[in-house]
Structure 1
Amino acid sequence: MKHHHLFLSAAIALVTAPVATSAQSTAPAAQQPTDIAVREKVMVPMRDGIRIAVDLYMPAGAAAGQRFPVVLQRWSYGRKANNTAATGEWFARHGYVFVSSDMRGNNDSEGVYYMHDPVNDPRDGHDMVEWLATQPWSTGAIGTYGISYGGHTQFNTALGKPPHLKAQFLINAVTDYHDGGGAWSQGAWLGDHNLSHTLGAILTMHDNADKPAVKAQAEALRKDYDRVLALPAAEQAKLLAFSPPAQRWFSEWLAHPDYDAYWKGYGINPDRYRDYPDIPMLFYGSWYDHMQRPFLKAYLGLKAAHRSETRMISGPWDHGRSVSRNGDAEFGPDGEGHPLEAADAWFRQYLKGEQPTTPASPVRLFVMGTGDGHRTAEGLIYHGGYWRDEAAYPLARAKPTSFYLQGNGLLGSSPATSTTSTGLIADPAHPVPTIYTRIGGAFDQRCKPTYKGCTDSRPLNARADVKSFSTAPLDRDVEVTGPVSVTLHFRTDVKDTDFAVKLIDEYPASAAYPDGVALILSDALRRARYRDTLDKATLLTPGKTYTMTIEVPPTSNVFKKGHRIRLDIAGSNFPKFDVNPNTGEPIQHHTRQQVAHSAILHDPAHPSMIVLPIVPAAPR
């Protein structure tokens, strides 16, 4: 398959259940000082005459001539999707006009929809902001707000450089669309696969959303998930012939496997930081979000390029929810997030001009893992954690520390002293399954029959094609906070293969968990043909030794005394990532599959390792 991390989950999946975003599903009780007024389907003209549909949630004073700052949300989920009305009413009762906007060609809006349109979207964002600034109920101070796709549109809006855009609040925003280590990421909606997001987008198109035949064909494909999932994405694209616009964008994505000019103009990346206006930005992210690594990469790049305040918050959540429960873990009452309240504090300062009584820290992190590990009444492991303010991210006091792979399955503080290696088999016909339910997260790496690819309830590393390397039980608590990387020295008998890695907090056996718990913290995959650069593929020479570094999404976790730090390595992680046929053919057009036999080298000359940012212990 073509190899880019499209983060398609950020598109839309209206044929599936909508995302329950924390900003909407866990909103605190709104203040009720006034009634609000809602104006639906207001058509806003763009520079080329196309009109975009918006809904307005307005404080009652707007009708009497009072002016308010404006919070704009642009996305293609639908103007009322994901409890947007509750969010709009919340903002209106807190003294803002909240605007929920469809995209060009989306739902009631005119024009042709192109998912994450890199050409029209910045222009439309500019025109929407400037139209809002001229309205009689507007102070002219416009901020943007949104999650996922609603975050990507904020980036595009800013790149349109509207003069009245004053601040942004980005929640798990889609950033770099080519950040999957060279593999095709099936996105976060693992149970429905990337094609479902394309199908969901089709159903929101202005010109066909109400056509029964289109809906029927899209729904039929979604229901045929298992068969469609097994197809190369190029074959999936052929199934979209009933919607030529969708087939076009899907095919264009597949036609650009390398990180070329197409992708560099599609997302937020170093080539575009200099084009971004210098405005206050708050990055509200999640350790378990599949977009966290590029999200924080954008944060660091834009922070370095700007003088305006650029803050980050990162909690123990997944992509769509800021609740304290995530996967198999409970993070405690402090793990609950409140993005609406955080956004209000941000916008009070930058849209209303109010000065905070207590200056907020530049960085606020949730440090996971300080719980006692008991089983809660809901059957979750109490992983716990706490919030901590920091002056900067990454933490200056965090020391990059190497843990070296040993021949006995251990991670050691120094390289192995003997010439050893670990064999790894990758069979495309039997890929290692992703452990997930709705969207990924803090899951015990143990199979369940309900997980695709699992037929039993054994630990995942009981499979012969998963190799684990662990420290000895820790003699003290060890905190890891920040970016993680894995460097592998390897050779293989094929022209291309994958290496999937996972950082795991391995709990010891307990009365509640007799077999222990292998709680995943972060994972990544790198396709070997992109071992040197994502810009250009270079196939392997079988039998030759290579070195590859895999950037793993950052985390913040305390490995408690008695736990082990564990690294799992496999040749696949499906369906989170597409399966490599291992033949070296163009992956979307491969004609066969081949079992890869690889050797991970770990000896004095080939010190394979995981590098972790260890934070020195300090009083809390």
Structure 2
Amino acid sequence: MMNEKPSVLNVELAWIALPDGRRLAARLFLPADGAAVPCILEYLPYRRRDGTRLRDDAKHRWFAANGYAVARVDIAGTGDSEGLLDDEYVLREQDDALAVIDWISRQPWCSGAVGMMGISWGGFNGLQVAARRPPALKAVVTVCTTDDRYATDAHFMGGCLINDMFGWGGSLQSYGARPPDPAMVGADKWREMWRARIDDLTLFPARWLAHQRRDAFWKQGSVCEDYSAIEAAVLVVGGWLDGYTAPIFALVENLTAPCKAICGPWGHKEPNQGMPAPQIDFLNECKRWWDRWLKGIDTGVEADPAVRLYVMDTAEPVPLFTHRDGHWLGFSSWPAPEIAADTWHFGAWGLTPQAQTSGGVQIVRSPQTTGIKAQEWCPYGQGRIAAEGATDQREDDAGSLCFDSAPLTEPLMIVGAPVLRLRVAANQPQAVMAVRLNAVAPDGTSGMVTFGLLNLAHRDSHEFPEPLEPGQFYDVTLALKPIGQTLPVGHRLRVAISSSYWPMMWPAPGDVTLRVDLDAAEIDLPRLDSAHSLPTPVFGTPDGCEPGETLRHLEPTETRTIHLGIEGQTATFDIISHDGDYTIVETDTRIVSTRTKQYHIARLDPLACRTAVQYMVSYQRPDWNVRIETEVACRADALQFHLTGSVRTYEDDTLFAAKDFACSIPRDCL
């Protein structure tokens, strides 16, 4: 880690004019010697001036000190950029990016070659813009990303509605309602821009929930629709704990452009800061990528394994998720020929590698509270990983249909995505299913290895779901989330099947009972027999620059509390996050933000499910004092989802503008 800021030219505000007259705000980091060099674009809605500023200082100053220009650009309608925020990943956002890349390539400080990088939103749009093939874009580094906006993003999983839709939707609602900085856009203009943003604001989760099938809405921006459209070289990075693990391997397998992957133990965080540890020298890995594809220097990246992944030891639940012991392995191709599928069978004797017959039919009717010990769908790993990760699974196992193996007599290294095949019937036309693969220690502790969700109406298609015929058996296949995990000797495998999984996913409208035909139940475990012939990649320790100076008035905190209502058999899960209270010294801006999420359900009543998310953020300077408060809430009956939302904005503690939302959306095989 560099202890001082290197000699870098920082341009606080550069305006990029778009063809329609709007202007996007950029912060530039340029080498001090004024040389024309390749430029790295990061394109986000998260406010470059006061949102990602400290992270940008640490990362982008480092790139500028190492021979690259960087443009950190606010998406239209966010930060200081003009225009309005239409939604996530819209075509207009991509069109604007094409104009930005063209502008960058023509600047005197740019050599004409451009790369894109980013985590999550910035990882998504890097791939989406690459699929548009702007001539100057030569390479992409995409972190915690997706290739399929429906199947692997914070809205649906396996056709099931996940509660992250409302948590993420509440966050985007808040970002869409925030004002530009008067120091950037002018004291005579910022209020006009702010009011226009609020007047135009929509209830984002309602827009997403109106598309419960994988229709054209989700196909736009899903690069899996045509992998061959991407010609830029792609480095894809992510973690086992993150919600976006599967696309890492899908991209390596399917892209025709040069593509390499790194998968560590991390949550939703860049791997130089990711948790659980160990972290890696991510910035130098990026530089190797940029040097090869933007400067034409042979850095050896083409000889790197196609996939470098971290195989974790054991599967203990938290608090051990702050660090995961394990080892790095390299695979020359994906799927990897070194990994074989071992088929395990279900039956009266539990889970065995030998086929069992006459296993009969077993039944599960899970309490709606099954899933309370789950991890977050997308843990962030920001020092709170013990709270975000899965805890001891025994409570959820008790509400599930479980199949255990005998204690393992030799270690079992699982690398890849387990695939489950079942013949299952439900008592309702609409049913959901959660499947967990756990490792049970000799003392009975049940640690989650991986999991999968399936809306049984989506058993054959996310685009054309069909209700179930109650009582009829269907053959279904479910790929669980990929994992790299070693199960030690003495542990038992456990497959746990449940008919609910709250609060991660929204329940089916009826109280579901599942019947499982054990004679047609099996799971393929991707087993790596031996790693002796595989390379063991070595990464350096994280490098970077010191971020800008801050004054900390209050450190971040988070509390998670579960309240059980004995008489009503209810459970309420409260998550209260305070992101801290601090002043960015360079801009003299004090920022306070808090988030509250509440999930509620009744043990035997899926229609009691409800979710509410509140955000508050304030920005204060001697000449500027604003506060934004937003709320998003959802409940459902048997036929419809009912959503409400509100925005309240204040200047100097006086109401500036407000907006309320309410709508009902029919349930569509959900």
Please say whether Structure 1 and Structure 2 have the same fold, judged by a TM-score greater than 0.5: yes
Q: Which residue of 2 aligns with 1:193?
A: 167
Alpha-carbon deviation of 1:181?
Answer: 0.8
Alpha-carbon deviation of 1:397?
Answer: 2.2
Q: Which residue of 2 aligns with 1:602?
A: 518
AA paired with 1:435? A
Deviations 1:412-433 (A, max 9, x none): 11332224222111454x4532
Structure 1 residue 262 corresponds to structure 2 residue 202: no
Deviations 1:143-163 (A, max 9, x none): 111100011111222133211
CA contact (8 A) 1:461 1:467 kept: no
CA distance in 2, matches of 1:275, 1:366: 26
Alpha-carbon deviation of 1:250?
Answer: 3.5
CA distance in 2, matches of 1:259, 1:551: 18
Residues 371-390 of structure 1 aligned to structure 2 (within 5 Å): 383-390=324-331
Q: Which residue of 1 aligns with 2:332?
A: 391
Q: Which residue of 1 aligns with 2:550?
A: none
CA distance in 2, matches of 1:572, 1:474: 29
AA paired with 1:496? Q
Deviations 1:523-572 (A, max 9, x none): 22000111111111211111111111112121112222222222221122
AA paired with 2:402? S
AA paired with 1:274? S
User: Compared with structure 1, are the counterparts of its residues 568 and 441 closer, same or farther at alpha carbon in structure 2 (3 Å cutoff)?
Assistant: farther
- For 1:548, which of 476, 485, 504 is the aligned residue? 476
AA paired with 1:133? S
Alpha-carbon deviation of 1:40?
Answer: 1.4
CA distance in 2, matches of 1:374, 1:365: 23
User: Compared with structure 1, are the counterparts of its residues 363 and 537 closer, same or farther at alpha carbon in structure 2 (3 Å cutoff)?
Assistant: same
Q: Percent identity?
A: 22
CA distance in 2, matches of 1:200, 1:321: 23
Q: Which residue of 1 aligns with 2:233?
A: 280
Structure 1 residue 114 corresponds to structure 2 residue 86: yes
CA distance in 1, matches of 2:268, 2:58: 20
Structure 1 residue 347 corresponds to structure 2 residue 290: yes
- For 2:37, which of 56, 68, 82 is the aligned residue? 68
User: Compared with structure 1, are the counterparts of its residues 255 and 460 closer, same or farther at alpha carbon in structure 2 (3 Å cutoff)?
Assistant: same
CA distance in 1, matches of 2:239, 2:493: 21
Q: Which residue of 2 aligns with 1:135?
A: 107
Q: Which residue of 2 aligns with 1:232?
A: none
Alpha-carbon deviation of 1:133?
Answer: 0.6
User: Compared with structure 1, are the counterparts of its residues 527 and 205 closer, same or farther at alpha carbon in structure 2 (3 Å cutoff)?
Assistant: farther
Q: Which residue of 2 aligns with 1:616?
A: 529
Q: Which residue of 1 aligns with 2:593?
A: none
- For 1:414, which of 338, 349, 354 is the aligned residue? 354
CA contact (8 A) 1:366 1:385 kept: no
- What secondary structure does 1:283 align onto? strand
- What secondary structure does 2:47 align onto? coil
User: Compared with structure 1, are the counterparts of its residues 553 and 374 closer, same or farther at alpha carbon in structure 2 (3 Å cutoff)?
Assistant: closer
Alpha-carbon deviation of 1:295?
Answer: 4.0
- For 2:201, which of 245, 262, 270 is the aligned residue? 245
Alpha-carbon deviation of 1:289?
Answer: 1.6
- What secondary structure does 1:342 align onto? helix
Q: Which residue of 1 aligns with 2:252?
A: 299
User: Compared with structure 1, are the counterparts of its residues 262 and 44 closer, same or farther at alpha carbon in structure 2 (3 Å cutoff)?
Assistant: same
CA distance in 2, matches of 1:362, 1:523: 27
Structure 1 residue 494 corresponds to structure 2 residue 418: no
Supply the RMSD in Å over aligned alpha carbons: 3.3
Structure 1 residue 436 corresponds to structure 2 residue 375: yes
User: Compared with structure 1, are the counterparts of its residues 542 and 300 closer, same or farther at alpha carbon in structure 2 (3 Å cutoff)?
Assistant: same
- For 1:182, which of 159, 183, 205 is the aligned residue? 159
Alpha-carbon deviation of 1:281?
Answer: 0.9
Question: Higher strand share goes to which structure?
Answer: 2
- What secondary structure does 1:496 align onto? coil
Deviations 1:52-108 (A, max 9, x none): 11100111112xxx2111111011112143422221211111111111111012121
CA distance in 1, matches of 2:181, 2:210: 26
CA contact (8 A) 2:112 2:136 kept: yes
CA distance in 1, matches of 2:462, 2:390: 29
AA paired with 1:264? K
CA distance in 2, matches of 1:403, 1:199: 45
AA paired with 1:60? A
Alpha-carbon deviation of 1:202?
Answer: 2.1
CA contact (8 A) 2:169 2:205 kept: no
Deviations 1:483-532 (A, max 9, x none): 221112111211111111122233323xxxxx43x332322200011111
CA contact (8 A) 2:45 2:175 kept: yes
Structure 1 residue 536 corresponds to structure 2 residue 489: no
Deviations 1:433-492 (A, max 9, x none): 2523694389xxxxx9x89999xx8822453x2222222111111211122211121112
Q: Which residue of 1 aligns with 2:619?
A: none
Residues 473-484 of structure 1 aligned to structure 2 (within 5 Å): 473-484=407-418
User: Compared with structure 1, are the counterparts of its residues 374 and 244 closer, same or farther at alpha carbon in structure 2 (3 Å cutoff)?
Assistant: closer
CA distance in 2, matches of 1:441, 1:54: 26
AA paired with 2:111? T
- For 2:261, which of 309, 312, 315 is the aligned residue? 312
- For 1:425, which of 365, 368, 383 is the aligned residue? 365
- What secondary structure does 2:422 align onto? strand
CA contact (8 A) 2:24 2:76 kept: yes
TM-score when normalising by structure 2: 0.70
CA contact (8 A) 1:73 1:100 kept: yes
- For 2:491, which of 534, 555, 563 is the aligned residue? 563
CA contact (8 A) 1:169 1:343 kept: yes
- What secondary structure does 2:160 align onto? coil
TM-score when normalising by structure 1: 0.76
Q: Which has the higher contact order (CA 8 A, sep 6+)?
A: 1
Residues 495-514 of structure 1 aligned to structure 2 (within 5 Å): 495-509=429-443
Instruction: For structure 1, list consecutive stretches of 5 or more residues without a partner in the other structure.
Output: 1-27, 216-240, 443-447, 510-514, 582-593
AA paired with 2:161? W
CA distance in 2, matches of 1:577, 1:102: 32
User: Compared with structure 1, are the counterparts of its residues 358 and 52 closer, same or farther at alpha carbon in structure 2 (3 Å cutoff)?
Assistant: closer
Structure 1 residue 29 corresponds to structure 2 residue 2: yes
Alpha-carbon deviation of 1:195?
Answer: 3.4
AA paired with 1:314? C
User: Compared with structure 1, are the counterparts of its residues 31 and 481 closer, same or farther at alpha carbon in structure 2 (3 Å cutoff)?
Assistant: farther
Alpha-carbon deviation of 1:299?
Answer: 3.4
Alpha-carbon deviation of 1:132?
Answer: 0.5
CA contact (8 A) 1:70 1:143 kept: yes
AA paired with 2:136? H
Q: Which residue of 2 aligns with 1:588?
A: none
AA paired with 1:494? Q
Q: Which residue of 2 aligns with 1:363?
A: 306
User: Compared with structure 1, are the counterparts of its residues 177 and 59 closer, same or farther at alpha carbon in structure 2 (3 Å cutoff)?
Assistant: same
CA distance in 1, matches of 2:476, 2:321: 36
- What secondary structure does 2:482 align onto? strand
CA distance in 2, matches of 1:537, 1:374: 37
Residues 57-96 of structure 1 aligned to structure 2 (within 5 Å): 57-62=29-34, 66-80=35-49, 81-82=51-52, 83-96=55-68
AA paired with 1:551? A
CA distance in 2, matches of 1:458, 1:117: 36
AA paired with 1:413? P
- What secondary structure does 2:176 align onto? helix
Alpha-carbon deviation of 1:577?
Answer: 1.8
CA contact (8 A) 1:105 1:113 kept: yes
User: Compared with structure 1, are the counterparts of its residues 150 and 31 closer, same or farther at alpha carbon in structure 2 (3 Å cutoff)?
Assistant: same
